Amino acid sequence: MENTQRRVGVIGGLRIPFCRNNTAYADVGNFGMSVKVLGALVERFGLHGVELGEVAMGAVIKHSSDWNLAREALLSSGLAPTTPGITTARACGTSLDNAIIVANKIAAGQIAAGIAGGSDTTSDVPIVYGTRLRKRLLAMNRAKTPLDKLRTALRGFSLGELKPSFPGVAEPRTGKSMGDHCEQMAKEWHIGREAQDQLALDSHHKLAVAYDAGFFDDLLVPFRGLKRDGFLRPDSTLEKLASLKPAFDKTSGHGTLTAGNSTGLSDGAAAVLLASDAWAAQRGLKIQAYLRDAEVAAVDFVHGEGLLMAPTIAVPRLLARHGLSLQDFDYYEIHEAFAAQVLCTLRAWESADYCRNRLGLDAPLGPIDPARLNVHGSSLAVGHPFAATGARIIATLAKMLEQKGSGRGLISICTAGGMGVTAILERP
């Protein structure tokens, strides 16, 4: 996106409040949440009947019938039906990835404007059956006569075939959950329980202050009776967090990740509108900030690297490309998948050994100002519907930069599969 003819502006974003799974949005699903967010964005920016160049939405957990969720949702959003849509997934980085997809097309002059976002639900998960029953059902469908279908259905059938299979949360390559991997990272980087609980507590308190100050009034659309995120605990204390038992390492006596300093299973959706300067000016829309550049990286977590450490690699590449230091930012939005992940990332950037041996740098990237980190709270307090988090962060950061009047913000999102998606937003 650097050195192109077109700058890519973030005009604004919206989301519905995020909530715990099996609560307010239990019967809505990805389609319903996506329609709500896209429709609200159409209303907010006067896009009814407008043809956009692309709508890129995503979902990590979705039914096969939602094979192109973005296209189906936009057809119910009020946008012109001639607007194309693409559905993607890169775990927790999905909607930031979608912003990169749309931004690159705008920067290249292929389109003038587009929407990026995502939704996820762990309330409405696809439940499938085992291989034997699937093959049996397909064979029944191929059978010509009712009698052949009955014979196929009964031949060799056992009740065990009816046992359903639920989506797994473990990494296919290791069999370990993200929490298990992050617990290993916390031990490797010597991240203690109290530091994790403090970061989680700070996230809740900052989010509560932001709500009370009205910061989210134009970033949220009330839905299903919710006006605030269902995870927010403004009355949380270190004592309450310290009372929670380890959620992953339950047997060694050294587990530090708990339900309080880890994100919970969430439902929600978010989207942002991106455009060129000319398109925004033509429609009388103000640009809050510009998406300057992005970088994606991956780590070899199967052979020992920390599953959630890829952003530590992506960020210095991004910095080098623009001649920036880690301290050259007014705001840092680091996705709080786990408090330990954020703290491992910060410690890695301060480590001379890691920066030299893994990143190939002459000196450590150094510390950041804690007062600039996740200023209005992040995923530990907001919630984390996987594919919605990136769009939430872009909308939040763009508004912060607009309020400041100028500045630069860094986005860092770790993902399942050992990847990281990062970006720079700025307001000249």
Residue 414 is among the residues annotated as catalytic for this protein? yes
**Extended beta strands in 158-199, E state:** 164-165
The C-alpha atoms of residue 92 and residue 71 are separated, in whole angstroms, by 21
Active-site option among 181, 204, 376, 384? 384
Burial class (CB in 10 A: 0-12, 13-18, 19+), 357: exposed
Please name the residues in contact with 280: beta carbons below 8 A apart, sequence gap of 6 or more: 9, 11, 113, 286, 287
User: What is the rounded radius of gyration, in angstroms, for the C-alpha atoms of the chain?
Assistant: 22
CB 355 within 8 A of CB 363: yes
Residue 92 is among the residues annotated as catalytic for this protein? yes
The C-alpha atoms of residue 15 and residue 41 are separated, in whole angstroms, by 9
> Phi and psi of 302, rounded to 5°?
-65, -35
Burial class (CB in 10 A: 0-12, 13-18, 19+), 351: middle
- Regarding beta strands 54-58 and 85-88, do their DSSP bridges make them parallel or antiparallel, or are they unpaired? parallel
Other C-beta atoms closer than 10 Å to the C-beta of 360 total 9
CB 135 within 8 A of CB 144: no
Active-site option among 19, 182, 344, 414? 414
Q: Which amino acid is at 58?
A: G
The C-alpha atoms of residue 21 and residue 125 are separated, in whole angstroms, by 10
Active-site option among 19, 92, 182, 355? 92
Q: What is Dmax (Cα atoms) for the chain?
A: 75
**Tokens standing for residue 170:** 């473990």
Give me the torsion for CA of 360, 363, 365, 366, rounded to 10°. 150
Residues tagged active-site: 92, 384, 414
